[in-house]
Amino acid sequence: MPGVLRRGRDRAGKEGTAIELTGRQREIISIVKQHAPITGEQIAESLGLSRPTIRSDLSVLMMLGLIDAKPKVGYFLGKAFSPEGKLNLRLKEVKVKEAMSRPAVIRENATVHDAVFTMFLEQSSMLTVTADEGGLAGVVTVKDLLKVAFGNPNASSIPVQMVMTRLPRVVTVSPEDTVLEAAAKMIEHQVSALPVVRRREGEDDHKPPELIGKISKTNVVQLLVDVASEL
């Protein structure tokens, strides 16, 4: 019996197809892992089946990159089990909540002077701005501060809410998004960090979301280093 096809939607709402391996297919992977290179006849014999019976299973596993084969040699583990394949799979599995860091926060009634000082203190190129109730109100970056500072001797006293990027223009991620999805957003919007937010259960959509963290390019690079060292 071939792998079971299941249809569903990803977080972006796009419909996709996932393949769930059968017990026999998992057994085949285990046999190949232990005895590679191994012929199809030898795999079938280990399962107590005929070669034609497992033909479709072998085809599915090869299509998924879980096993591969060479003529006159036999079957062996596929690219999905290589260091590169494992790294790719790990990056698709790790959630933002596992890699995020503490956000550098400033209140929306602070000044540009306060923002510059906080950036220096936190060694961060992006500050998340919070409203009185603690929800995310916006973000302010080094670029935002430079724009207002040039040629303006009174820039330091300007309220940060006058220069920040406000909701809903702020690009955010959920703690349940994958790091790969967060990295793609950073590249698409040309930013070095994203606020991590979530909505409290039963909250009004017009209320600012709760700020719970920050994920940056540094977090992504650190994850790459950590995962690579595990392989």
Domains delineated in the chain: 4-78 (1.10.10.10), 96-230 (3.10.580.10)
Residue 30 in contact with residue 48, Cβ under 8 Å?
A: no
pLDDT at residue 11 above 50? Answer: no
Are the C-beta atoms of residues 113 and 140 closer than 8 Å to each other? no
The predicted model scores a pTM of 0.67
- Residues 228 and 221: their CA atoms lie apart, in Å, by 11
- Dig out the tokens for 119 from the structure: 């950036």
Which residues sit opposite 135 in a β-bridge? 210
What mean pLDDT, rounded, does the chain reach? 86
Encode pLDDT of 48-106 as tens digits. Answer: 999 999 999 999 999 888 899 999 899 998 887 777 777 777 777 899 999 999 999 99
pLDDT of residue 7: 38
More confident: 19 or 152 = 152
Strands, sheet with 105-107, edge to edge from the N-terminal-most edge strand: 105-107, 126-130, 136-141, 165-166
Which backbone phi and psi does 204 adopt, to 5 degrees?
Answer: -70, 135
Interior angle at CA 157, CA 155 and CA 161, nearest 5: 90
**Predicted local distance difference test score (pLDDT) of residue 230:** 67
Candidates 154, 150, 130, 126; CA nearest to 215 is 126
- Name the DSSP letter for residue 167: T
| Whether the predicted pLDDT of 208 surpasses 80 | yes
